[in-house]
Amino acid sequence: MKISYDQATDSLYLHLADSASVDSNEVTGGVVLDYDINGAAVGIDMQQASQRAGLNSDAVKCLYLENEDILQIRLSYKTIVREASPDWHTNISYAEDGSIVEIVILDAKKEGLLPLEFGSAT
């Protein structure tokens, strides 16, 4: 998995797989899930990322739980008040203000999402 942040557009993109995106679904305002031809999630695009998730703070953390094959991406310290699962292995948690607090991906290694690569868009 590769995580890219474009400061010019304030966009965070989580590349979940190398498959080409053929469809997308806006799960909430400014957050779009991209899917491959088989309907598997291949990416998550978050617009206005610094406002939505507090990316200018030190809150962004990634944790991989090897025994359970779970990848947890924490984007802020806000309290989680709502969760949504756009597919069987992705869970997105939201704060009261609608910002994304956390993204949890099940079977992360099995799905080929590891190792992680971090970069910034040019």
Encoded tokens for 27: 């799960």
pLDDT at 20: 87
- CA separation, residue 10 to residues 46, 53, 114 (Å): 9, 11, 25
* Lowest-confidence region among 63-67, 81-85, 104-108, 113-117: 113-117
Residue 80 or residue 41, greater confidence: 80
pLDDT at 27: 73
Peptide bond into 86 cis (omega under 30): no
Judge whether residue 44 has pLDDT over 60: yes
Question: Over the stretch 49-99, which tens digit does the pLDDT of each residue have?
Answer: 766 655 544 556 777 888 998 888 887 788 999 998 877 888 888 889 887
% of the chain with per-residue pLDDT over 90: 6
Query: Please, which pLDDT band fits residue 22 given cuts at 50, 70 and 90?
Result: very high
Query: Please, which pLDDT band fits residue 122 given cuts at 50, 70 and 90?
Result: very low
